[in-house]
Amino acid sequence: MFFMSMAVGTAVHRKIRRNVRPWFLAEDGKSPGKYKGVYDFFSFVLTHCTLMYFIISFVMLSWEASVRVFQSQYFIGHILAVVLYIVLSLGIIRPPKRSTSEKKTQ
């Protein structure tokens, strides 16, 4: 169950990195921007919270026990992961557009 759940978590984290991270980079799109440290901190916390939530099923070593634990938490981590994946897939949050002169130099 852990590996199946983490597949969704990994997909969400990739989409966050592609869509949200560019907002925290400088105009060139490569060097860190003014608030890149804030992004790094929150992505670190989000990664660890995701791991701590999903690792329960790995520690329990039982499908039934894992389902009971997730039921007691109303599957909130799973629901949030799926909702975030859908929101980021729909393009509601998109990276900022760079000017055409920057695209030509890249």
pLDDT tens profile 31-52: 999 999 999 999 999 999 999 9
Q: How many domains are there within the chain? A: 1
Question: Taking the chain (106 residues) in consecutive chunks of 10 residues, what is each chunk's mean pLDDT?
Answer: 92 95 90 94 96 94 94 96 95 82 56
Q: What is the domain range of residue 17?
A: 2-105
pTM of the predicted protein model: 0.80
Cβ pair 57, 2 in contact under 8 A: yes
Percent of the chain at pLDDT > 70 equals 93
How far is 10 from 8, CA to CA, in rounded Å?
Answer: 5
Cα distances from 7 to residues 12, 16, 56, 75, 90, in angstroms, run 9, 14, 15, 16, 19
